[in-house]
Structure 1
């Protein structure tokens, strides 16, 4: 018998808001966070979904994240926006940046937002998708607490440091979205397995503290994540560290505290959002080139467009709701009741 229960998207949203409101978080902030977490669940990205509610709530209760913080923004140049999340949740800061970048890009052709004093920013591709829906190409880079060792080493120095990209692909069609952590899987998947009461994970996800492959959930939590493509994945993690922590001026992955425990100072993570207007840069050729590119993909038997699974998952969730592990649901209800 399944240990899951089904919630509608509206029920899931209300549950997240209630848990955050019971955890020293303002209503509008809770709404922004809930939209992001429920959207991740709907897109099939449970590692960035409701499994984050217990840690987010404990952070807000203990002051590791400020549930009352409002982000602020400063236009440094016509194409550079610096956003201060003010040690609050990342989602209101992204809401602010994504509201301003399209207008800046319309004037300059390319614009960048640097988000500092930030927190976990969830499903990276969803932020890019919002810009692509407005006709822009977008990249997002963000660092995370240390989880990946440099290639050849055992000690974690880099986060799973996600990279996301999105591009418009024509009128009436959903954007192309590519979203990946530089580890084989996001660490949130191991946390989700832990929350579900599973003791093992698949091979190839993680190494134990001694650098040996492990399938044990607890050993994986204490060890390191395996980078995609071996040395290349480790190099990508370093690149994202530069594009987020270095470029933004935030904490390095080795300097930030865990996103899964309530102890320690504010994470002070950094994220960079790059928005590009493809029309002027391509001399008006972008749309036609994208049509040709997608026609080639469609003509290849068995090929699947990256990110396309999110669309069918989203449609299914809208019609049928989302499955939530019963122990996790019970834990969130305890938070709502003030006992979390």
Structure 2
């Protein structure tokens, strides 16, 4: 199994996307996100995504040379049209501009429309928290979950991410999908020819399945049953309805090159961590300490930070089969 440095993983992603027809800025931003996800141990949002991304650029489902259109509809708001390109350049722009707005207004928001797969949602939230902000990110995705009691997918797996700063150490980061597991885990199982545990998804007829292909053709089981679908509804309204993006049931798949652009959306809300209480970050640290003082308890994101540190030293492993598929694009 080949081992790549993080720099080599980044270069592989850039070369692949350029070869498929992406512009330099789109390729560079996307490569940073994919290599970063690999470093954090989130392989389902890493280099394996190049297979779908590359095919979509070639088919025009992703506009490979898209440029952002950015406006300020209100003093505290940033509106970003991703132009049916990859989501990552739009997310980068939000991370770059929201801190100054939040410091002057106390609170700020960025709405991203005509977007695409946002990848590991915790990464932009973490980048904002590293600049002294409390951040929430909502992203909708193509239909994969039915409403509770229904049998037709109308919600995406719709990730939610949260991050807040801690004094002198990395931020607290919460990043979760509203399905019982991220759909990327099923995609990865299908690519490896493996079964999935029962309880992750149902097939197109609504029957429990351990077949990854049947699961992808069916619907995902929500996190927390009815509560998960209620949260997924909330994300659809915030990340699509509010920002002018397509709802899950209107979006094409992130996984293939069929049809037009998905046109999904993201909403990022940020608050200056000191806007209400000057000692808020110190208070965040108090609660973090209450958690970490307990044997066996840890803050969310601890495993991700450990994986990142290992990857910086030892690189990342990529299967021969995946590397060959990427090189063949």
TM-score range, shorter chain: over 0.9
Q: Is residue 196–residue 325 contact of structure 1 (8 Å, CA) maintained in 2?
A: no
**Cα offset for 1:5?**
2.3
Where does the alignment leave 5 or more consecutive residues of structure 2 unmatched?
none
Residue 322 (str. 1) matches residue 316 (str. 2): yes
Alignment match, 1:214:
209
Alignment match, 2:156:
159
Alignment partner of 1:242 out of 216, 237, 241: 237
Question: Which is worse superposed, 85-94 or 285-294?
Answer: 285-294
Residue 197 (str. 1) matches residue 198 (str. 2): no
Alignment match, 2:297:
303
- Say which SS state the counterpart of residue 17 (structure 1) adopts: helix
TM-score norm. by structure 1 comes to 0.95
- The aligned runs of 1:6-45 (5 Å cut-off) are 6-45=3-42
Residues 109-131 of structure 1: CA distance to partner in whole angstroms, max 9, x if unpaired?
00000001101110000010000
**Cα offset for 1:196?**
2.2
TM-score norm. by structure 2 comes to 0.98
Alignment match, 2:288:
294
**Cα offset for 1:280?**
1.9
Q: Separation in 1 of the partners of 2:285 and 2:94?
A: 29
Residues 53-75 of structure 1: CA distance to partner in whole angstroms, max 9, x if unpaired?
01000110010011101112101
Q: Separation in 2 of the partners of 1:111 and 1:94?
A: 14
- The aligned runs of 1:70-81 (5 Å cut-off) are 70-81=67-78
- Say which SS state the counterpart of residue 93 (structure 2) adopts: helix
Q: Separation in 2 of the partners of 1:125 and 1:214?
A: 29
Residues 16-64 of structure 1: CA distance to partner in whole angstroms, max 9, x if unpaired?
1111011111122211100000100110111111110010001100100
Q: Is residue 203–residue 214 contact of structure 1 (8 Å, CA) maintained in 2?
A: yes
- Say which SS state the counterpart of residue 269 (structure 2) adopts: strand
Alignment match, 1:312:
306
Where does the alignment leave 5 or more consecutive residues of structure 1 unmatched?
336-340
Alignment partner of 2:102 out of 100, 105, 115: 105
**Cα offset for 1:76?**
1.0
**Cα offset for 1:287?**
2.1
Q: Is residue 166–residue 282 contact of structure 2 (8 Å, CA) maintained in 1?
A: no
Alignment match, 1:114:
111
Alignment match, 1:63:
60
- Say which SS state the counterpart of residue 330 (structure 1) adopts: helix
- The aligned runs of 1:166-181 (5 Å cut-off) are 166-171=163-168, 173-181=169-177
Instruction: Give the CA RMSD over aligned residues.
Output: 1.0
- Say which SS state the counterpart of residue 250 (structure 1) adopts: coil
When residues 11 and 288 of structure 1 are mapped into structure 2, their CA distance, relative to the original with a 3 A threshold, is closer
Aligned residue pair count: 329
Q: Separation in 2 of the partners of 1:87 and 1:246?
A: 17
- The aligned runs of 1:257-296 (5 Å cut-off) are 257-282=252-277, 284-296=278-290
**Cα offset for 1:186?**
1.0
Alignment match, 2:46:
49
Q: Separation in 2 of the partners of 1:321 and 1:288?
A: 34
Q: Separation in 2 of the partners of 1:67 and 1:150?
A: 34
Q: Separation in 2 of the partners of 1:41 and 1:226?
A: 26
**Cα offset for 1:10?**
1.3
Q: Is residue 51–residue 195 contact of structure 1 (8 Å, CA) maintained in 2?
A: no
